[in-house]
Amino acid sequence: MKIGYARVSTLEQTLSVQLDQLQAIGCEKIFQEQQSGKSADNRVELNKLLEFAREGDVIHVTKVDRIARNTIDALKIADILAEKNAGLVFHDLGDIDINSDVGRVIYTTISAFAEMERKRILQRCNEGRERAKAEGRHLGRLPNKSLHNRIQELHDRGMNKHAISKELGCSRTTVYRILSPNISI
């Protein structure tokens, strides 16, 4: 059976391009998810696919980094499928099956580069955050001044903190933080 796997990292991204490619290949079943590729452990659909795969099945993935973002996960996934005598084909590697000797070497190398790319992206993000902090720029969400003013107004009228959080649909932590800015919660 031809089985497809498609993944994007965030809810804002779309799976449509990958799904179109997998359907064009003739995948009879496609596992899809919108989940970070950081760790294979948190990916429910990937784990379902690994459970579902049987001898003779071939798993089709449009790009190597869709199934694993680090070398250890990539090799674990390959080993699980190899034990089941299931194939794994990456279409960005010229449709190479990683169960062949050459395919395994290429897969390992590409996986290592995907892991290095992820680490470099994180490093650049951290450098950007540090630069922004040094320049005094605000990081994170901006405060909701109208909510803060409303919390203060209700408190001034005598409403208790729990009732304020219920009334405004915000957490009690937010209410406490606004009303007691010098206390760390």
| Catalytic member of 9, 16, 36, 184 | 9
Length of the chain: 185
Q: Is 39 a catalytic residue?
A: no
Q: Measured on CA atoms in the order 116, 118, 121, 122, is the torsion positive or negative?
A: negative
CA dist., res. 113 & res. 110, Å (int): 5
CA dist., res. 156 & res. 43, Å (int): 47
Residues 6 or more apart from 3 whose CB is under 8 A from it?
Answer: 27, 28, 29, 30, 31, 49, 52, 53, 57, 58, 59, 60
Q: Which residues are part of the catalytic machinery?
A: 9
